[in-house]
Chains A and B, each alone.
Chain A
Amino acid sequence: MAAFDVNKAFAMKILPARLVLLIALALPTAAAAQRGGDAVYIEDRFNQLQQLLTNLTGQLEQLQNRNAKLQQQMEKMQADYEYRIEQLEKGGAARPGGAAPRPPAQAAAPVPTPAAGPANADQLYDEAIKKLQEGDYAAAERGFKTFIQRSPQSKLAGNAQYWLGETYYARRDYKNALTAFAEGYKVYKTSPKGPDNLLKLGITMSVLGRKPDACAVFARFNQDYPRATDLQKRRIEQERQKNGCG
């Protein structure tokens, strides 16, 4: 989940540096123009600036890409931590009546998984989680969709709906992510993933530029989930501040 916007922070740092470079290069050019009015010289300088700008653009793109990848990794890790904390808070107890969902990233801690339950549906769910971990979001999307379709009453259906949203979010398909999270809130409000789902619904609205809606969503949090974890409450507060919610 986007705790902070790495790209934005990065851009704010790099842009002034770029500006200084350009001005620095432009200064001797202006001087030369005054000195001799040499059109060739100006053309040269212009080309050099252009070249420099091109190189910077290329570097910026590569750094942005690296950042986006790191951010994705961070989000995965964060989700992993949250999951583990959630497990710890529950004292490591198994959920009644079904397999516990696997963590979204490789967890070192053993996760208790009772053998009972409808193996087929659970396998489907586990398979989709695995695809999500592997970054094969399209396959994960299909898996979660099938799972929800087949087992809408399952205890894991709310989780599946949440992770379905995540498959879109990870691919920056925010419109579908929004639909999925909204559906999650509507249908599986009381699911274990309910608080995370609502948080992500707000974040997605914010990404889509719908800040007032995002704030309205965050505002519902305490009312809907009074027993949310402290971590979740802190995240909501962070997001509220980030979006300037009143």
Chain B
Amino acid sequence: MMLPRRTTLLGGVALATAGIASSARAQLTIDMTRPSFEPVPIAIVDFKGDSVGAQMAGVIRNNLQNSGLFRVIPSSAYIQKDVDATTPPRFPDWRSVGAAGLVVGQVTSVGGSIKVDFRLWDVVTSQQATGLSFTSQPNNWRRLSHIISDAIYKRVTGEEGYFDTRIAYVSETGPGNNRTKRIAVMDQDGANNRYLTDGKTIALTPRFSPTLQEIVYMAYGENNGPPRVYLQNVDSGRRELLGNFPGMSFAPRFSPDGTKVVMSIAENGRTNLYEMDVRGRQLRRLTNSPAIDTSPCFSADGSQIVFNSDRGGAQQLYVMSAGGGGERRISFGDGRYATPVWSPRGDFIAFTKIGSGGFGIGVMRSDGSGERMLASGFLVEGPTWAPNGRVLMFFRQQPSSGGRVGSASLHQIDITGRFERQVPTPTDASDPAWSPLIPQ
């Protein structure tokens, strides 16, 4: 299900948010940067007025619980059963079940559309913390639930949410020596999964354009054809070759403004970085080394590119200016460093590290200092950032044995290394790419 563009999703306006005395906020807010904290206890009542209301509450509960920052209070514990969206709840009832926050909502049919009102009550201060009202098409109820989840997350953590997003990834099926690898896209919570390539040839490394309307990825040609970079419209499925070069082209990634794609082209044993202007299809060389330069990624402001190269022996991370030049190595720890991705906030670079003991996912500051490992395993690879720069997704591959390929799955973790959680996918999955927030 795709949303028609320019839907009147935010037809309504934010309801008046009551002024809250800052001293009383303590329990409905959370500081994610602190090393330890208690998840915020929150009750989310089935939205009233339409059968879809219960499903919406379910999506919101799932989102908040999965973030690790909330503890969702089961509905069996509720004392007040008849709470609705418009009148204040009986706060003492909610205090006594241990809730700091209470989410209520109302769904109303208006012609062919639905109107959704939701409120987040601060149970501690007996005040409304936030509230929104939307009008949209009925089949948008999932998106509305994600947008509401984001509003709650933002109100409680002070950070932007990441629930109204999608994940592109590589779906893997079939035997290990002839695996089918297709590009798939799904909502961040695993819903609305669909395939963008047919699986006739191997397709890898999908990445979203900033508007989410397009993805770039690498796919092999038919009949043993060499790997090439393709640009595909997510809605229409129309795909085009992004340049036809003598050598293999791969590892594509959009610039933050979407006007350029940076990628690797391999020829005669050398792999260098190039930038292609998406509209004019002009190709420009960015590096010129006899080594392997690959996995490029722009900084959030588009001024720099981080990539990995083995020009100094083992793979290490390098930063250069976006137009090429000024290359500078930033990783100096033990082991090999790969797949650097710049945080959308610009503060960190996440990477895959390969040491003698296995693989790890880590983050460092963009000058290479402050390295911190978040996850490790036999094979973990390919971190990608949630748009708020607070959560990462990557994939884990289990060891193969007895000729059977080890399973591959997507995992999510926050940047302090907490709350690792497997992201459900219909098939084995690798190479996740987290989209920006879906434009509203």
Q: Do chains A and B touch in the complex (CB under 8 A)?
A: yes
A171 on the B face (CB < 8 A): yes
SS class, residues of chain A in contact with chain B? helix
B310 engages A65 (CB within 8 Å): no
Is A229 located at the chain interface by the 8 A CB criterion?
Answer: no
Task: Name 22 A/B residue pairs within 8 A (Cβ), A-sorted.
Answer: A50-B290, A53-B290, A54-B291, A54-B311, A54-B313, A55-B313, A57-B311, A57-B313, A58-B311, A58-B312, A58-B313, A58-B314, A59-B312, A60-B312, A61-B312, A61-B329, A62-B312, A65-B329, A65-B332, A138-B347, A171-B367, A172-B367
Closest to B367 in A: A171
Interface size for A (C-beta < 8 A) is: 15
Contact with B along A44-60 (1 / 0, CB 8 A): 00000010011101111
CA of A171 to CA of B365 in the docked complex: distance in angstroms?
11
* Contacts A61-B329, A62-B332; A54 near B367 (Cβ below 8 A): no
CA distance A55 to B313 in the complex (A): 6
A112 contact set on B, CB distance < 8 A? none
CA distance A171 to B310 in the complex (A): 25
Could you say which of A57, A60, A172 has the most chain B C-beta atoms within 10 Å of its C-beta?
A57
Q: Smallest CB–CB gap between B143 and chain A, Å?
A: 35
Rounded to whole angstroms, the CA-CA distance of A50 and B268 in the bound complex is 14
A37 close to B (CB within 8 Å): no
Residues in chain B near residue A172, CB distance under 8 A: 367
**Nearest CB of chain A from residue B126's CB, rounded to whole Å:** 33
The count of A-to-B residue pairs whose CB atoms sit within 8 angstroms is 28
Determine the chain A residues whose CB is within 8 A of the CB of B332 once the complex forms.
Answer: 62, 65
B-contact bits for A137-153, CB 8 A (1 contact / 0 none):
01000000000000000
Question: Using a CB–CB distance below 8 Å, which chain A residues touch chain B?
Answer: 50, 53-55, 57-62, 65, 135, 138, 171-172
Kindly provide the distance from the CB of B380 to the nearest chain A CB, expressed in whole angstroms.
25
Q: Which residues of B contact A50 (CB under 8 A)?
A: 290
Interface of B: prevailing SS: loop
Extra 11 A-B pairs, beta carbons < 8 Å, given A58-B313, A58-B314: A54-B310, A57-B312, A58-B311, A58-B312, A61-B312, A61-B316, A62-B332, A65-B332, A135-B369, A171-B367, A172-B367
B304-332 with Cβ < 8 A to chain A: 310-314, 316, 329, 332
What A residues does B369 contact at CB under 8 A? 135
Point out which of B290, B313, B369 has the most chain A C-beta atoms below 10 A from its C-beta.
B313
Residues of B within 8 A of A65 (CB): 329, 332
Question: Which chain B residues lie closer than 8 Å to A57 at the CB level?
Answer: 311-313
Most buried by B among A53, A60, A65, A135: A65
Q: Report the minimum CB–CB distance from B219 to chain A (whole Å).
A: 31
In the A-B complex, list the 4 residue pairs whose CB atoms are closest, starting with the nearest: A58-B312, A58-B313, A57-B312, A61-B329
Residue of B at shortest CB range from A47?
Answer: B269
Q: Which residue of B lies closest to A171 (CB)?
A: B367
> Once bound together, how far apart are the Cα atoms of A239 and B290, in whole Å?
38
- Which of B290, B291, B312, B367 has most A Cβ within 10 Å? B312
The B329-377 residues at the A interface (CB cut-off 8 A) are 329, 332, 347, 367, 369
Q: Give the Cβ gap from B342 to chain A, nearest Cβ, in Å.
A: 16
Contact between chains at B312 and A54 (CB < 8 Å): yes
> How far, in whole Å, are A178 and B22 apart by their CA atoms in the complex?
39
How far is it, in angstroms, between the C-alpha of A54 and the C-alpha of B332 when the chains are bound? 16
